[in-house]
A and B are shown apart, each in its own frame.
Chain A
Amino acid sequence: MLLKRLTDACGMPGGEGEVRQIILEEIKPYVDDIKVDRLGNVIATKNGKPGYPKVMIAAHMDEVGLMVKSIDDGGFIRFEQAGGLDERILVSKPVLVGKNKIQGVIGAKAIHLQEKGERETPLRTKQLYIDIGAKSKEDTEKLVKPGDYIAFDSEYVEFGNNLIKAKALDDRAGCAALIETLKHNYDVTVVAVFTVQEEIGLRGATVAAYKVNPDIALVLEGTLCSDVSNVPEQSYITKLGAGPAISLMDSRTIFPKNLAKRIYDIAVKNGVDIQYRLPSSGGNDAGAIHTTREGIPCTAISVPCRYIHSPSCVMSKDDFEGLKKIVKLFLEDIKEGEYIRD
């Protein structure tokens, strides 16, 4: 299963190689041209008919994770964050270290040995370490070196009412939807860009958008969803199972309303569930794309993901299917000459 393969693969910002390989294999039969640029973005073109616009669709390959900083005298691994994480989630988690995916754990002092009040204070990244079961520094150094990426060890699980739990659904869900999108034929030219380094500042999209210079762009994402019962409705941002979400505004982009509305209306007309992603903080590749060169009209459609940026992201399969449908419908809806810039 594609989504399982993609979420099982590890790809921290700057170290997207494993994910890139899967994508390159998957898309090869369906596109006319593939390039990997100087930052590692995959840029795949599927030619359409002349007179139709060039549509760039971006999904980012990288996920948030950790990086080995040093190995201490006992053979324990000290680490730093790669991408923005809530460090409170780190403790008591299994991880995979380096290309060979050495298993390790992030431990903590036993509750019995803690001073009063310790439990109230979150453990900081600097206090934590990874134990791979090594006997000594030398022992660890045989398998691990500073700079190695560390991913959460989290299985792909289907559960509940058509839900999926996995790591890195932000944004492998977008990658999977983009791969599926390439399997159909369109009048428009589709340039699929699987970007790098989104989580550390939209850096892959910055250079890819410059190079591709499309007429219009679409970003496929996994986005915030906090529709859990102890959160007031005004802070949900998106709802799980209510369809893919179209962005209105985040901290990097104010999205063009006409484009968002067009996609919303297409979905409604075709009986596909759709929702707006409520304005909130956060940002995605659109932030870099829409201010590229002379400006590129850009919109973002996302699969809602609960517990995003953690080992246990949860999304709905229905929302994922909806995303694939709506992207296809939108691409088919674009008419000759539309969006073309002189």
Chain B
Amino acid sequence: MLRSLLKELVEAHGVTGFEHEAAKVVEKYFLPYSDEIKIDKMGSLYAIKKGKADNPKKIMLAAHMDEIGLMVKKIDDKGFIQFTNVGGVDQRTLLTQEVIIHGKKDLFGVIGSKPPHILEASEREKSVKMEDMLIDVGLPKEEVEKYVSIGDSITIRRKLLNLQNDMVAGKALDDRAGVAVMYECLKELSHMKHDCDVYAVATVQEEVGYRGAIPATFEISPDIGIAIDVGFGSTPELPKDETADLGKGPCIGFGANIHPKVYERLVKVAKEYNIPYQQDIYPGATGTDAWGMQVTRGGVSTGLISIPLRYMHTSVETVQISDIKNAGKLLAYFIVSLNGEDLEEMLCY
């Protein structure tokens, strides 16, 4: 199930601001394990699983379902499409990619640019700028305009790739991997007893500054909020102390953005249930939904779990499935560990 969810999630299109299709997949998989599904004004999806306590406290989980992508900026006289980015796109990863333009109907296209043969030697030393790239949909302007208009979103065409050792690669694993963690957590919880109400929120617009998480947190007003995002996985060119290894478990974040007691409890639960974990240090901003959640209303006790992921913000992002499973399990046991707990007391300094 997890793999099929991942496949559907990753292959669904949901550029920041256009998360509708991804939300449908989330709803389909989350529905059997929740009491209620809600979509808020910004488009974030809440899967609510009621707790058993009389006056249940609220735990909010947040993983963002938006992905970075492209947007139609101009259709030129020959029918080529110029585009801009939504979220942090590395222009070097775009050349000759296959794309889908989400207009009135989906159009297939290829990203092209001037061929190297006609370039000056010095030009070849520089990467091609996004503004100099064009999408070729093989149609004349009049045809293109029937289906495409300015502002339509564009995604890279990519199937989920199965690598060795249970690793998978694709686009949008940042942060659909996190969404999959919430799925695993809800599934675990379905055969456990928990006091707190659980709000598993697939947020929108994280990639442009956690704009979905801010109003969602205001709306839910949780006692504890935990963001699930991706972190830098180790690769040969990156320093060891800035990355985490794939397959060695989710990272538990520590720092000013994280309530120390939430961190401690997550670590304790991981140890108690032999769930492998790694540690992530953040002296300041985490750049995740947790950063927005923490300062909502009168303040929220936040936590942060991240899945090690290689090649972030490319269309071949890579994660290990066991890390997702372990993160889901960790969150479920964390939630259950709060049964009978006086949260006011637990969260005091």
A interface with B by C-beta (< 8 Å):
12-15, 17, 20, 36-41, 66-70, 78, 80-83, 146-147, 196-197, 200-201, 203, 206-208, 210-211
Q: Considering the complex, which residues of chain B in the window 237-259 have a beta carbon less than 8 Å from any beta carbon of chain A?
A: 240-242, 254-259
Knowing A39-B299, A200-B285 are in contact, say whether A78-B241 is a contact too (CB < 8 A).
yes
Closest to B301 in A: A38
Range for the number of chain B residues in contact with chain A: 20 to 34
Secondary structure class of chain A's binding surface, majority of residues? mixed
Q: Which of B240, B242, B254 contacts A147 (CB 8 A)?
A: B254
Is B151 in contact with chain A by the CB < 8 A criterion? no
Residues of A within 8 A of B348 (CB): 36
Evaluate contact between A207 and B295: CB separation under 8 angstroms.
Answer: yes
Closest to B263 in A: A147
Evaluate contact between B284 and A207: CB separation under 8 angstroms.
Answer: no
Closest to B253 in A: A147
Q: Which of A14, A36, A38, A66 contacts B257 (CB 8 A)?
A: A14
Knowing A83-B284, A207-B299 are in contact, say whether A67-B241 is a contact too (CB < 8 A).
no
Residues of B within 8 A of A68 (CB): 281
Evaluate contact between A67 and B281: CB separation under 8 angstroms.
Answer: yes
Evaluate contact between B256 and A197: CB separation under 8 angstroms.
Answer: yes
CB of B165, distance to nearest CB on chain A (Å)? 26
Cα A83 to Cα B283 in complex, Å, equals: 8
Knowing A17-B349, A70-B241, A78-B241 are in contact, say whether A38-B298 is a contact too (CB < 8 A).
yes
Cα A200 to Cα B286 in complex, Å, equals: 11
Cα A12 to Cα B258 in complex, Å, equals: 14
Evaluate contact between A207 and B298: CB separation under 8 angstroms.
Answer: yes
Interface centre among B240, B294, B301 (most CB of A within 10 A): B294
Q: Which 7 A-B pairs have the closest CB atoms?
A: A14-B256, A70-B241, A207-B299, A82-B283, A211-B298, A67-B283, A38-B299
CB of A305, distance to nearest CB on chain B (Å)? 22
Evaluate contact between B279 and A37: CB separation under 8 angstroms.
Answer: no
Cα A46 to Cα B284 in complex, Å, equals: 32
CB of A108, distance to nearest CB on chain B (Å)? 20
CB of B6, distance to nearest CB on chain A (Å)? 30
Knowing A207-B299, A211-B299 are in contact, say whether A200-B347 is a contact too (CB < 8 A).
no
Q: Which of B241, B257, B294, B296 contacts A69 (CB 8 A)?
A: B241
